Amino acid sequence: MNSYVHYRDWFNVRNTLPKEVRIGFVPTMGALHQGHISVLEKARRENDFLVLSIFVNPTQFNDPNDYQDYPRTLELDRRIAAECGVDALLIPGKDDMYPSGNDMPILTQHPLSQIMEGKVRPGHFSGVLTVVMKWLHWVNPARVYFGEKDFQQYYLICELVKQYFLDLEVIGCETLREASGLPLSSRNQRFNKEGLELAHRFAKLLRSGSYDDLASIQRRLEAAGLIVEYIEKHFGRLFVAVECHGIRLIDNFRL
Amino acid sequence: MNSYVHYRDWFNVRNTLPKEVRIGFVPTMGALHQGHISVLEKARRENDFLVLSIFVNPTQFNDPNDYQDYPRTLELDRRIAAECGVDALLIPGKDDMYPSGNDMPILTQHPLSQIMEGKVRPGHFSGVLTVVMKWLHWVNPARVYFGEKDFQQYYLICELVKQYFLDLEVIGCETLREASGLPLSSRNQRFNKEGLELAHRFAKLLRSGSYDDLASIQRRLEAAGLIVEYIEKHFGRLFVAVECHGIRLIDNFRL
């Protein structure tokens, strides 16, 4: 199993695979946790050949500090990849992924890219869609897997695949949660003890009381010391983003 | 040979082709002429399966009148396709190509997309790159063919293929010309007799005198009654665009 494979070398591997071999692809930004593992296990079961990519994509970060501070745990990630039966692990650098800059990006004006995460993080979804398009060409999977924790991302990638006639399936994977309801996230690794307690409290507060009155939920979150970026209902789901001890937390779930 | 094939039906055809079958793809806006025929013949020789698409792409026209007036000669095009041994002729409508609008376009800021045609026709190359990306997914060719008459387009598509890791070859095809040097173009069909004479004169004037002094070539063109949009040297080539009896003419050639 290689860690960095140049896309031309990978093309050579890919092109020797028989046509009927179905590639499952799990693109990630690394810092793998149990949520990723469950996705990898699902993809392992559903496909003949499993590709995992790890790339912290700079063009989807509007905040350079957030990019800098994004957790990187490569050695652990490699072990997890091996344990999950990954056939090819792709870990390109920035210059591999953007060999001549980023002057032909996909620019989304889709309505769902303009609200919530799209509003709070200008340019975020354009960066996501651009890098995902590159990855889909690079890997050429039959199925690609995304977590529903980033529901807007998942939905917009489904739309990208439709609009650009990509011949593959996008599989949304349910969010894994702690007992409190807190979704597993790479960013959780950045909390200290106090921050983590508040994060669990956030999850519990979200799950108490009626969803008819979002303003009162917001007041409860704020009273607990969270800064609420947004709390909105769409597609019969509740979407929320808060700042918790200086770290962003997002969640969404079916009501 | 089908004329309109839904992309899902085409995927079914494509996916039954053995892996070693190499698809050659010639995307066009129709109004086929001898220039297209020579490209189709080249693609026919170099590949096992030949796909021709005809689609006048609205998103690459900044001028709605130009889009409206673009010549459409479908019956003749079909005959030419049959004579050139085209295996699949794809003629989608606007709603087939843009099933949910165009809210995730590729937006080029590449330097070569900002000058000459890119400057005169704002948004033109973003429209081209967006529709070409869709087509490349739709057809999945081993080789795609573009005329060097639209050299900026050809160059930017090479760049698109590089930046997005598309696993195919972009083949540039030399411009076919009348005896005067006038490049063959679908738009030439829109000239009346007087306009066509001036067009030939344009081609001859371009080929007389030194290329060290572009200003004097420009003066000669203007004296003949042409409106010069630009005349510039790049990549050791001369690029020129004029308005000739209300119709745009472009050309470029190696110096």
- Judge: A134–B99 Cβ closer than 8 Å, yes or no: no
The closest CB to that of B104, out of A103, A129, A167, belongs to: A129
Q: What local confidence, expressed as pLDDT, does residue B136 receive?
A: 98
Nearest-angstrom CA–CA distance, A59 and A106: 11
Reported as a single tens digit per residue, the pLDDT across A122-181 is 999 999 999 999 999 999 999 999 999 999 999 999 999 999 999 999 999 999 999 999
Of A19, A98, A104, the CB nearest to B19: A19
Residue whose structure tokens are 């004169």: B201
Low-confidence winner among A149-158, B11-20, B153-162 (lowest mean pLDDT): B11-20
Contact yes or no for B167 and A104 at CB 8 A: no
Q: What is the pLDDT of residue B3?
A: 59
Q: Based on the residue annotation, tell me whether A33 is a catalytic residue of this protein.
A: no
pLDDT at residue number A1: 46
Give the DSSP letter of residue B226: P
Distance between B55 CA and the closest CA of chain A, angstroms: 16
Say if CB B206 and CB B233 are below 8 A apart: no
On whether any CB of chain A is under 8 Å from the CB of B20, the answer is: no
Residues of B in contact with A165 (CB under 8 A): 7, 134, 137-138
User: Is A100 in contact with B163 (Cβ distance < 8 A)?
Assistant: yes
Between residues B212 and B77, which one has the greater pLDDT? B77
Put simply, whether B110 touches A (Cβ < 8 Å) is yes
Q: Which amino acid is it at A183?
A: P
Answer whether A20 touches B (CB < 8 Å).
no
Predicted local confidence at residue B1, as pLDDT: 46
CB contact under 8 A, A163 and B109: no
Q: Do A109 and B104 touch (CB under 8 A)?
A: yes
Tell me the mean pLDDT in the region A20-39. 96
Q: What pLDDT is stored for residue B206 in this prediction? A: 94
Count of CB atoms within 10 A of residue A203's CB?
17
Across A221-245, average pLDDT: 97
Please report the DSSP string for chain A in residue order. --SS--HHHHHHHHHHS-TTPPEEEEEE-S---HHHHHHHHHHHHH-SEEEEEE---GGG-S-HHHHHHS---HHHHHHHHHHTT-SEEE---HHHHSEEEESS-B----GGGSSTHHHHSTTHHHHHHHHHHHHHHHH--SEEEEEGGGHHHHHHHHHHHHHTT--SEEEEEPPPB-TTSPBP-GGGGG--HHHHHHHHHHHHHHTSS-SS-HHHHHHHHHHTTPEEEEEEEETTEEEEEEEETTEEEEEEEE-
Q: For chain A, list the domains and their CATH numbers.
A: 7-173 (3.40.50.620), 186-250 (3.30.1300.10)
Q: What is the pLDDT of residue A4?
A: 65
A20: which residues sit within 8 A by CB, 6+ positions away?
A48
Can you tell me the mean pLDDT for B29-51? 97
The proportion of chain B whose per-residue pLDDT surpasses 90, expressed as a percent, equals: 86
The more confidently predicted of residues A194 and A11 is A194
The answer to whether B100 faces chain A, any CB pair under 8 Å, is: yes
Asked if B140's CB is within 8 angstroms of A167's CB, the reply is yes
CB contact under 8 A, B163 and A134: yes
pLDDT, position A209: 77
pLDDT given for residue B130 in this prediction: 98
| pLDDT higher than 80, residue B9 | yes
> Nearest-CA neighbor of B90 among B55, B141, B131?
B55
Q: Do B108 and A111 touch (CB under 8 A)?
A: no
Task: Say if B91 is an interface residue toward chain A (CB within 8 Å).
Answer: no
Res. B4 pLDDT band, cuts 50 70 90: low
Q: Which of B15, B98, B110 is the closest to A104 by Cβ?
A: B110
Q: List A residues 160-179 in contact with B (Cβ-Cβ < 8 A).
A: 160, 162-167
Measured between beta carbons, the chain A residues lying within 8 angstroms of B100 are 159, 162-163
> What is the rounded average pLDDT of the residues A90-111?
95
> Comparing C-alpha atoms, which of B32, B22, B72 is closest to residue B52?
B32
- Catalytic residue, chosen from A6, A33, A36, A234, is A36
Angle, alpha carbons B33-B51-B47 (nearest 5°)? 100
A108–chain B Cβ distance below 8 A for any pair: yes
Using a CB–CB cutoff of 8 Å, tell me whether B7 touches chain A: yes
Active-site residue, from B36, B124, B137, B245: B36
Percentage of the residues of chain A whose pLDDT score is greater than 90: 86
A159 to chain B, any CB pair closer than 8 A? The answer is: yes
Nearest chain A Cα distance for residue B136, angstroms: 9
Nearest to B103 among A109, A134, A137 (CB): A109
| Chain A interface test: which of B137, B140, B166 (most A C-beta within 10 Å) | B137
Average pLDDT over residues B26-44: 97
CB of A8 within 8 Å of a chain B CB? The answer is no
Chain A interface mutation, best of B103, B125, B130, B157, highest count of A Cβ atoms under 10 Å: B103
For residue B55, pLDDT over 50 is answered with: yes
pLDDT digits (tens, 9 = 90+) for A79-100: 999 999 999 999 999 999 999 9
